[in-house]
Chains A and B, each alone.
Chain A
Amino acid sequence: MVNIVFKFFIAISCLLIFRGLLAEPLLDGADFDYGEYLSGQCLTCHQNSSDEGIPAINGAEALYIAKKLILYKNKELGNEVMQLVAGALDKEQIASLAIYFNSLEK
């Protein structure tokens, strides 16, 4: 009985976390395939093979990526290349990139 309650509890928690993720407004409208295409622009510089000079971003938290991109877009973080890249991304594109990079192996 305890076991069943426990499982139920876990299942509900998972559901809530999952819904929470989807409900996260920063990730609204995310489109995985679009993210894969857009990632091409990032992969010219961001690769797992090297963390030197430019960070590897594969497998990073989706929200973390989205928030960073928004900071660059608003020029609140200072790197000209990133400001340029993020400046040209809309909300859906940012969300798509965030979930795509999150899906990649670290």
Chain B
Amino acid sequence: MNNLSRRSFVSFALASTSLLAMPAISTGSARPKVVVVGGGAGGATAARYIAKDSKGAIDVTLIEASKHYYTCFYSNLYLGGFRDYDSIGHSYNNLSANHGVNVVHDWAISVDSSARKVRLGSGATVSYDRLVLSPGIDIKYDSIDGYSVEAQTKMPHAWKSGTQVKVLRDQVLNMPKGGTFAMVPPPNPYRCPPGPYERISMVAHILKEKNPTAKIVVIDPKNKFSKQGLFMAGWEKHYPGMVEWIDNDTHGGIKNVNPETMEIETDLDTFKADVACVVPAQRAGAIAMNAGVTDGDWSPIVPASMQTKADSNIYVLGDASVASAMPKSGFSANSQAKVAANHIRGELTDSRVFPAKFSNTCWSLVATNDGIKVGANYKAGEEKIEVVDKFVSKTDEGNAKRKKTYEESIGWYNGITTDMFS
């Protein structure tokens, strides 16, 4: 068997039940091994770049729980009716077919960092020379009194890849006439800083069309938010009188939520909602905690390489990392993945390692053809990832420019998903 077909065979064997009988997964090669846990914006990019650029010199295994990755980016546009659900789903087939990545659909349960092994849900173990963790976030269900795993069907957070956003869309579409949509955004730091406010815009967009007397109340645990001036001006322009944003100082703090009565209690008042999107606080995906590379809720990294401060064989990318000035975004995770991929190749195959360069732009849609953006580029400082330069859309730019910004975001979506999955 040549390398590729042997690898395909291994992928197949992994997917089949014969795996249970195997004590350990081995590709039978002496090539250095990289295991990537999590096939999202950070992990899929890292697996693809390491495999592609090492041209087969590195054996790459990607462990991802789901068969399809539904992007959180653009899930708000699905919510607003600008995309269909299928269009934000992506398969892992090309990663194995085009680059020879062994894609294993399973949960990584634990990491033994001294033996350099990852244990999977099936009971099998995979050994590594370098491990990349990009597990995204876990929701801290107990960070809001009254919220729980069970509560999420009544008050969906829809903040992780998956079908909760479908539930939320159905709830918004079926809201009683003149009803109230409540949104509780998460406290800092969290995945996608402008995300809650883009979500509010998209809900307003549906309601304006289908339920124009409905109201939106935003009960924020923060006193300010990303692109605030732009969003608030947009809400006033497109959805006048519909959105009320209440900051933490005004409501005095969220005391609890009650999914049965659909109430959200604050110091100031108790808000009753017909539909509520409640997004609790977050932390690094459990596997990062298990690997012992976190400090508190997130994983500190070395800016030049994305190696964890705790273990130089383990890299953490994306939302789970403490990337200082970089927001937790898909763009950031994709950018960090390339820095890590370059560093890992250098370590394992002596290829050239270039200085880290990071960038991020977050586009948001406020209404039809009204796109805004915020972006920055970054460099690796000694301790932190530092901003080099940044920009943000202006409140007074014309409609043509806003339309162009929206169109640019479509280009970005196609670009990044190709960069992850082709």
A53 adjacent to chain B (CB < 8 Å): yes
Q: Which residues of A contact B141 (CB under 8 A)?
A: none
Q: Which residues of A contact B415 (CB under 8 A)?
A: 43-47, 49-50, 54
Contact check: which of B335, B354, B408, B410 meets A44 at CB < 8 Å? B335
Which residue of chain A is the closest to B342 with respect to CB atoms?
Answer: A37
A3 adjacent to chain B (CB < 8 Å): no
Give, as a whole number of angstroms, the nearest-CB distance from A64 to chain B.
19
A85 adjacent to chain B (CB < 8 Å): yes
Which residue of chain B is the closest to A49 with respect to CB atoms?
Answer: B418
Q: Which residues of A contact B391 (CB under 8 A)?
A: 80-81, 83-84
Q: Give the CA-CA distance A91 to B338 in the complex, in Å.
A: 22
Size of the chain B interface, CB-CB below 8 angstroms: 33
Q: Give the CA-CA distance A54 to B404 in the complex, in Å.
A: 10
Please provide the chain B residues from 329 to 368 with a CB less than 8 Å away from any CB of chain A in the complex. Answer: 331, 334-335, 338, 342, 352, 354, 357, 359, 361
Do the beta carbons of A81 and B361 come within 8 Å of each other?
yes
A52 adjacent to chain B (CB < 8 Å): yes
Secondary structure call for the B interface = helix
Do the beta carbons of B408 and A54 come within 8 Å of each other?
yes
Contact check: which of B49, B359, B389, B422 meets A41 at CB < 8 Å? B359
Q: Give the CA-CA distance A81 to B49 in the complex, in Å.
A: 23
A38 adjacent to chain B (CB < 8 Å): yes
Give, as a whole number of angstroms, the nearest-CB distance from A103 to chain B.
15
A44 and B388 in contact (CB under 8 A), knowing A38-B357, A80-B375, A81-B375? no
B416 adjacent to chain A (CB < 8 Å): yes
Contact indicator per residue, chain A 36-66, by CB within 8 Å of chain B (1) or not (0) = 1110110111110110111000000000000
Identify the A interface with B (CB < 8 A): 33-34, 36-38, 40-41, 43-47, 49-50, 52-54, 79-81, 83-85, 87-88
In addition to A44-B416, A81-B391, 17 A-B residue pairs with Cβ atoms within 8 Å of each other are: A36-B53, A38-B357, A40-B338, A43-B415, A44-B359, A44-B415, A47-B415, A47-B418, A49-B422, A53-B412, A80-B373, A81-B373, A81-B408, A83-B391, A84-B377, A88-B377, A88-B389
